[in-house]
Structure formats: C-alpha cells, structure tokens
Amino acid sequence: MERKKALKEEAKLLEALNKAKLTKRDFLKASALIGVMALAGGGGLLRVNLMSSMKSESEESYSQSSEQVAPLSVSLKGAREVSVANAGDAVIKLLKAYGVKHIFCSVDDEINTMLDSLTGDKDIKHILILHEYGAVAAADGYAAASNKVGVALIGGFVGANAHDAVINAYLDYRPVLIIGACLGPEYPIYGGGQIQTEPQAIFDPWTKWNWQVVDNDNLVKVLLNGLMICQTPPKGPVFINFYQNLTREKIGTIKIPSVDRMQPPSPPMPSSDVLKQVAKLLVDAESPLIVTTRLGRNKEAVPKLVELAETLAIPVIEGYTGFKNFPWHHPLHLGCDPAPYLKDTDVLFVIDSTVPAGVPETAKVIVLSEDPVRSFQWVASGIPGHMNREADIRMIADSNVAIPALLDVIKDMISYKWDKLMKYRDRYEEIKEEHDRQRKEWKDEAEKHLGEKPISAWQFYYELNKVIDKDTIISNAALMSFFKIGWKLLELDEPGSYICTLGGAGCLVPGPFAAIGIKEACPDKKVIQIVGDGGWQWGHGDKALWTASHHGIPVLYVIDNNHCLLTTKIGQMKLKGKGYETKNYWAHDLVKPMLDFTYMAKGADVWAKKVEDPDDLEPTLREALKVVTEEKRPALVDVWTKPIAGVESWELAIKEPKIQ
C-alpha cells in the first residue's frame, strides 16, 4: 500500500516537473520546501526515472551552469570582499584566509576547479597524493603533529576509498577537514549508477559533521562551520561535499568574515568543587597510578603532567598508540603496560585515554577527557565490549588547562603537610627503583638477541634507538612488534617525539602517508616512519614514496619486514585448528615471493637499501639519515627480520611454501 502511494506521488511529481521544465536540482530544492525530499531520496525511487526523463535538460543546464553568476550576499560584520573565479576558487581562497598552509590533494575531475585554483599558489603548499586514502591520512598526520586543521581534497564516489583514514582521524579526535565533490543530480547516469551515489551516508558515522552543498548561497558559512566544528573539543573530522557543477559556478565575489570572530570556543574546564574532590583522592592515595594516551597531542601539556606526577609521586603509564605523553627516562615512567600495576592501585587517574581492564573493584577511578564517555569511539561501532567502564568521577575538560588548575588545588592541600610530603618522597624512590629495574631488564633482553639471523625485532629497535635524538619524531605503524617490544627500547623524551595515527583501530595503516603530513607540519624535525611489511602494503606505501619523491619530502621509512602478517597470524594460532596442527598458515606467511621493497623505492627515485645482516643495520640507518638530513631526499631501509611469534611455521613455510 505504501509503495503504491509512493509511486502515485512519483508520477504526479514527474508530470509537474515535465510541465515546469525544471532541472532535477531545481526540483530537489523545491521539493525540500514542500516536504517531499525524503521521497525523492528514499530508496532511489525517483533518481533513475528523473535522470532518464531529464537527460536533454540536464545536459543543457550543466553547460549553462558554468556561465551563470550566482549571488552570494552574506551579511557579516567585519567581512571583506574577495574576487573569485568560481565556487571552487572560493573554497581555496577562504581556506587561505583562515590560515590553511597545506592541502593534501587527491585527483578527480569533480575537484578540478579547486586544483586549478591552487595552480601557482605560493601561499598554500598543495601536496599531490595518488590515492584518496592517502590524502586524508596525510592530513591526519599533519593534524596530529601540529594540532591544527589538516585539509584533504577528494574526488567523487571513489573518494569513499578515504573512508578508513576518516575512521582513524575520528577515533583519535583529530581536526581534519575533508572537502569532496561528486557528480550532481543534473548529470545523466552513465558508466553505471554507482557514480551517482552521494557519499554522505558512508562518512556519516565517522565524522562530527558532514554536509552536502546543494547551492552556493551559503558556501562561506558552510565552510566556516566545518572549520569551527572540527576544531571544537572533542575535535574530529568534518566532511563537506559539493556537486561538480556547483564548483564551476561563477560567483564573482565572496565576503570573508573576520578570522577573529569565527574562532572555535575556549576549552572546557571542570568546576572547582570537582577539582577539589579529585585533588583529595590523589593527595590521600596510597598507591595511585596515571594512565594516559593522547595528552601529548598538546605538547605543552607534557611538562604539566610531569609536574603533577612529581608533586604527588605518581607513576605514569603511556598507551601504545597516541602520542609521547611522558619522558621515557623520567623515574616515574613505568612503560606502556598498566597490567602489572593495577592490582595494587587504589586511585586510578585516566587522562585522555580509556579505563583499562583489570582495575580492582575497590579502586577509585577518575577520568579526565574532552570526551570522557567516549561518545566518539563506540557510539558508531556499537561494540558492547568497548562501552564505558565504571568511574567515580568523569570530567569534561582539556587536560592542558585542567591539570594546572588541579595542581593549584593540590598544592594548597599539601602545603606544610610534612607527613604527606615525606610519604611522597619515599614513594618516589620506590617507583624509581622499579623504573630502573624495568630498563635493565629490557636492555638485557635486547642484548641476548643481538647478532641473530634473521634479524630479531629486539635488535631492530635496539639499533633504531641508537640513531634517534631530541630532534627525531617516530611515526609508528608497526603494530605487533612495537606493542610487544619497540616501546621498551625507544628512549623518547621530547614532547611530540612519538605519534601513532592508527586511531585505535589501524584502519588500513595510515603511517606511510601520515609521515608526509607530520614532516610538513614539523619541517625542522627528522621524521622516521616505522611500519611492518603488511602495513606498508595496506597503507599504499608505493604511492607514499611517489609523493615524498615528487615533492622532495625527506622522510625516512624503516620497514620491519618479517614477511608475515603477524597480527592476524597470532589470531589464527589461538584457534588451534588446522593451521596449528599442520603448521600451515598460508594466509599469513608471505614468503613466496619474499618481497623486497627497495625495488619499489628505487622506481620512485627514493634512496633505498635492504638489510639482512645484523651488523649492517646501524650503519645503514645512519647512512639513510644522512640522505634525509643532508640531501633532503626521502629514504627507505627494508630490514628483513624474524617474526616475534610463530617462527617455526614461518621457517617451514620458507623451506616448503604453501599456497593453499
């Protein structure tokens, strides 16, 4: 019954449309006013019929649209007028006016007006990337390193390839503005109806806001809204999509509002009463613990956390992903695994992170975050195991401003309280002993594996640690080897010296492109991207090499090439099924052929060397860094390593390759 009714309505609308000689775009605008937009879009009932019946008018309208001059009368206080060639040019000039210095561009016909506007522009560095995923991943890396908006341009429906990079930015709360364009509703269908699908629904679960521009009347306000939303805590990606014909529409001038009047709001702060409650819990705690993952996104917050930890002698655990939140050498740093210390914890302070599993029921839990209920992370996924764990106090706040305020309250509470100060001093010494024990244990274990062939992951990170300094940024996408070993050996102290853009999900692995964005954000730093061989392929490393070479972006790529998809292999090993019984992990051991990524690099005119001998590893890393720092060229070191698990089956696969 409902379908028949809908079809009758469709017929009436088609008849009225044909009489009025409207284009579909005009029809959609009109239908919105009379409340039938849902019918036009729902289930695609009208789309195909309207397209086929309007072909001649749509083509005529499209050819005329590039000649029309649309009025853009925006009344805004303090605005200045800027001449623009068309709407695509308006987008670029607006971004420039608001301080955007980098745009990461994929290529497609639908965004050609924006690409054309960038031609010869010296104020915005436009980085050409041959994949939509890479454009967004690079913008994400830029946002991670700079804490500013990263901007990516993507094309039509194939721009949906960017989807996984958008997820990473969303789960890590990064301000990324994605601007796309697709064929408009005036276009006749050709080459398959797939290209007519609009990408809003695909990106919607993983963006703070997304918008389909249906006319240029509010172009300025839409873009400014997107810029503000992605920068407003909790930060996250925004997607704005145009129809292609609208990008070509001539506008004449736009009014750009005053930058000072269109800024995101100041960061949130907890109330003084809540700060006093938190301070008392921490001051009175016998065995407190701090866990943090993303505090270091604001580099200036790191010394503030150090002061808080030192004031009360609280040990700090960093997450595997995220940022450098606390100096590795500091005596209160106890690594990246909270599990050994949770059982004795009576007050757990979780800052810009998630509450770990295994917290004692008797422990008090405090959560400080711009998103303390993790609405970004799991509302979209709906995974029950990832819902919020219990907490006694949750604070919506920016840690960069909340920690100093909390410190002021704590200092007032402990002033001249000599008994507490003595307790903190004794606790500090105990934690320092544990810190020193950890470091000695990790170093001793690494030295046991030096000289092994194939090269051990322990030696991979042991030698890598020798070549880093305070001006190095490690961009991590190595997954299993880093989570098990790497964090124990890389002695990173400087705020901003470690960035992981895996988003807690590692969708495809953004590292190869993220490193490009990080280097653009931090041109004076040495950027070393560590990545596994599986992640290199999933992350389109070949295209990242081309971009780095083409633009002369001197990034050092170091591949932990164990010829194995270890993360997924470990999952199958735990099944103890056929693969376990026969030692045949044909889907995970990538040994026929054993890929040599140096050929890929040399094809892109990137300096590259393969390392199989453990004695060659440190000298090769130093040689590669010399290429990066002195010649200002990208470089790649392909280190052939041994997996950290499943070695027996891996060695058997090398001798007797299984293909089924």
Cα angle 555, 484, 384 (rounded to 5 degrees) comes to: 100
Q: What are the CB-based long-range contacts (under 8 Å, 24+) for 106-109?
A: 106/130, 106/131, 106/132, 106/134, 106/135, 106/152, 106/153, 106/154, 106/155, 106/159, 106/162, 107/155, 108/154, 108/155, 108/156, 108/158, 108/159, 108/181, 109/155, 109/156, 109/244
Of all residues in the chain, the percent with pLDDT exceeding 70 is 82
Together in a domain, 499 and 608: yes
- Position 186 confidence tier, pLDDT thresholds 50, 70, 90: low
Strands 347-351 and 322-323, sheet pairing: unpaired
Work out whether the CA dihedral 213, 214, 219, 222 comes out positive or negative: negative
pLDDT greater at residue 473 or residue 212: 473
- Residue-range definition of the domain harbouring residue 399: 272-431
Together in a domain, 415 and 454: no
Mean of the pLDDT values across residues 537-555?
96
Together in a domain, 291 and 213: no
- In sequence order, the 6+-apart residues with CB closer than 8 A to the CB of 482 are 320, 461, 476, 530
Q: Give the SS3 label for residue 248.
A: coil
Instruction: Inform me whether the pLDDT recorded for 602 exceeds 70.
Output: yes
Residue 442 counted as domain residue: no
- Position 501 confidence tier, pLDDT thresholds 50, 70, 90: confident
Rounded to two decimals, what is the model's pTM? 0.86
- In sequence order, the 6+-apart residues with CB closer than 8 A to the CB of 529 are 475, 477, 511, 512, 514, 515, 555, 556, 557, 558
Which of 139-153, 157-171, 321-335, 636-650 bottoms out in mean pLDDT, i.e. has the lowest?
Answer: 157-171
- Position 306 confidence tier, pLDDT thresholds 50, 70, 90: very high
The per-residue pLDDT for 312 is: 98
Together in a domain, 251 and 338: no
Distance between CA atoms of residues 651 and 583, nearest Å = 10
What are the phi and psi torsion angles at 141 (to 5°)? -60, -40
Q: How many domains does the chain have?
A: 4
pLDDT digits (tens, 9 = 90+) for 611-622: 999 999 999 999
Distance between CA atoms of residues 299 and 494, nearest Å = 9
Strands 498-500 and 472-477, sheet pairing: parallel
Of all residues in the chain, the percent with pLDDT exceeding 90 is 65
The per-residue pLDDT for 197 is: 60
Mean of the pLDDT values across residues 180-191?
68
The per-residue pLDDT for 343 is: 95
- Position 516 confidence tier, pLDDT thresholds 50, 70, 90: very high
Together in a domain, 8 and 151: no
Contact 637, 450 (CB under 8 A): no
Q: Cis (ω within 30 of 0) for the bond into 234?
A: yes
Candidates 420, 556, 414; CA nearest to 475 is: 556
- In sequence order, the 6+-apart residues with CB closer than 8 A to the CB of 524 are 471
- Position 153 confidence tier, pLDDT thresholds 50, 70, 90: very high
Candidates 55, 41, 183; CA nearest to 108 is: 183
pLDDT greater at residue 486 or residue 199: 486
- The domain boundary, picked from 397, 431, 465, lies at 431
Distance between CA atoms of residues 489 and 431, nearest Å = 19
Distance between CA atoms of residues 613 and 619, nearest Å = 11
Please give the structure tokens belonging to residue 216. 């240029």
pLDDT greater at residue 423 or residue 158: 423
The per-residue pLDDT for 378 is: 46
Mean of the pLDDT values across residues 349-365?
94
Distance between start and end Cα atoms, the chain: 52
Mean of the pLDDT values across residues 449-478?
97
Residue 234 counted as domain residue: yes
Together in a domain, 137 and 228: yes
Residue 192 counted as domain residue: yes
Which of 44-48, 225-229, 255-259, 535-539 bottoms out in mean pLDDT, i.e. has the lowest?
Answer: 44-48
Instruction: Inform me whether the pLDDT recorded for 390 exceeds 80.
Output: yes
Q: Give the residues across from 538 on adjacent strands.
A: none
Please give the structure tokens belonging to residue 527. 């950027």
Residue 502 counted as domain residue: yes
Instruction: Inform me whether the pLDDT recorded for 344 exceeds 90.
Output: yes
Instruction: Inform me whether the pLDDT recorded for 406 exceeds 50.
Output: yes
The per-residue pLDDT for 428 is: 98
Mean of the pLDDT values across residues 635-657?
90
Helix, strand, coil shares of the chain, percent, nearest 5, are: 50, 15, 35
Together in a domain, 33 and 177: no
Distance between CA atoms of residues 136 and 161, nearest Å = 10
pLDDT digits (tens, 9 = 90+) for 522-531: 999 999 999 9
Q: Give the residues across from 333 on adjacent strands.
A: 316
Reading across the β-sheet that carries 322-323, which strands appear in turn?
322-323, 498-500, 472-477, 526-532, 556-561, 635-640, 607-611
Instruction: Inform me whether the pLDDT recorded for 282 exceeds 80.
Output: yes
Tell me, what CATH number does 605's domain have? 3.40.50.970
- Arithmetic mean of pLDDT over the chain: 86
Q: How far is CA 318 from CA 234, 322, 338, 354, 374, in A?
A: 20, 9, 8, 11, 18
Residue 526 counted as domain residue: yes
Tell me, what CATH number does 310's domain have? 3.40.50.1220
Q: What is the three-state SS of 622-654?
A: HHHHHHHHHCCCCEEEEEEECCCCCHHHHHHHH
Instruction: Report residue 20 CA to chain centroid gap.
Output: 48
Residue 437 counted as domain residue: no
Instruction: Inform me whether the pLDDT recorded for 205 exceeds 60.
Output: yes
Furthest C-alpha separation in the chain: 89
Together in a domain, 244 and 285: no
Structural element, H or E, at residue 279: helix 272-284
Which of 103-107, 193-197, 450-454, 513-517 bottoms out in mean pLDDT, i.e. has the lowest?
Answer: 193-197
The per-residue pLDDT for 49 is: 32
Mean of the pLDDT values across residues 185-213?
72
Contact 625, 556 (CB under 8 A): yes
What are the phi and psi torsion angles at 150 (to 5°)? -95, 135
Candidates 178, 176, 115; CA nearest to 141 is: 176
Distance between CA atoms of residues 371 and 398, nearest Å = 9
Together in a domain, 40 and 123: no
Most confident segment among 1-10, 40-49, 272-281, 574-583: 272-281
Q: Give the residues across from 606 on adjacent strands.
A: none
